Amino acid sequence: MDVEKKSFAGGLKSSNLVQAWLVMVLAVGFGISLAGVQLLLGPVIEGNKLNETLEKVPELVLGNFLAAKMASENQTLEIVPRQVTVKKLDRTKFYIVYEARYQGDLKGWVVKTKGQGYADTIELLLGLSPDLRSITGLFVLDQKETPGLGNKIITHAWRSQFVDAPADRTLVVIKTGSSRPGEIDVVTGATISSRSVTAMINTAIGDLRNPLTTAPSSQGKGGKHNG
């Protein structure tokens, strides 16, 4: 703003910039203090998210009913996090995948993925069946979509459309009411939020199909060339 006005100032070339010295000093000072806050609190926030993720894994893999039943019987799933590297044509993508096992049997996967929503990054947890044929659950870990419109993506009603949706074909966002499996109803007034969530899911499944189905037991890097 000030730089643009500078040329009109004539004799006092830098006067507008000089006038704004307080703004600039404050901006630097506040910036440094915010960086400090982030350094201090960032790990705590990440820890909170990790705890929530681990808490959500059973219901994302088994569904609410079975997860509640397991919890009441004091049984727990064995959750092993692993990083999956997917090499694409132009870049490398990293996914955190939680492997959920019960007494050694693979019960499913929970994939953490993120992408651009309408307002800010949306972080999703996506539950997948062991054979990657269907989606078993969806949870929104973080979002800042418009209140009343886009933030309806966190509601159970909207998320439950994804449960039991086929994972072996591309999900399509529909505005006029879904009728077939694999069709997702848009949130009214939030087409962009709905589309970006669906696109993130499609991409994640597409990226992970090979690494997860071909090398299910390998720990650590399950990376595979896709390009």
Partner 1 sequence: MADLPTATERFINGILPENPVYRQLLGLCPTLAVTNSLNAAITMAGAVGFVLLCANVITSLIRNLLKPHLRIVVFTLTIATFVTIADRFLAAYLYQMSKTLGPYIPLIIVNCIIICRCEVCASKQSPLVAATDAIGQSLGFGLALSSIAAIREILGAGSLFGLRVMPAAWPDWTIMVLPPGAFFTFGLLLGTVNWIVTRKGAKKSQRRERSSP
Instruction: State the residues that interact with partner 1 by CB under 8 A.
Output: 19-20, 22-23, 26-27, 30, 33-34, 37-38, 41-42, 44-45, 48, 52, 119, 143-148, 151
- Tell me whether residue 106 or residue 119 sits nearer to partner 1 (CB atom): 119
Tokens found for residue 84: 């999956």
Distance CA 153, CA 139 (A): 9
Task: Please state the closest distance from residue 116 (CB atom) to partner 1, in A.
Answer: 16
> What are residue 183's DSSP bridge partners?
172
Cβ nearer to partner 1, comparing 29 with 181 = 29
The owner of tokens 């350094």 is 39
Nearest-angstrom CA–CA distance, 116 and 195: 10
The nearest distance, CB 122 to partner 1, in angstroms, is 12
Smallest distance from the beta carbon of 5 to partner 1, in angstroms?
11
Cβ at position 56, least distance to partner 1 in Å: 12
Contact criterion met (CB below 8 Å) for 132 and 209: yes
Task: Output the six-digit token pair for 106.
Answer: 């693979």
Report helix, strand or coil for 37: helix
> Nearest-5° angle of CA 118, CA 52, CA 94?
60
**Which residue, 27 or 172, has its beta carbon nearer to partner 1?**
27
SS percent in the chain: helix, strand, coil, step 5: 45, 25, 30
Q: Among residues 52 and 131, whose Cβ is nearest to partner 1? A: 52
Element (H, E) at 98: strand 92-102
15 vs 202, beta carbon nearer partner 1 = 15
Of the candidates 85, 77, 82, 84, which has an alpha carbon nearest to the alpha carbon of residue 56?
Answer: 77
Taking a C-beta distance cutoff of 8 angstroms, is the pair 127, 136 a contact? yes
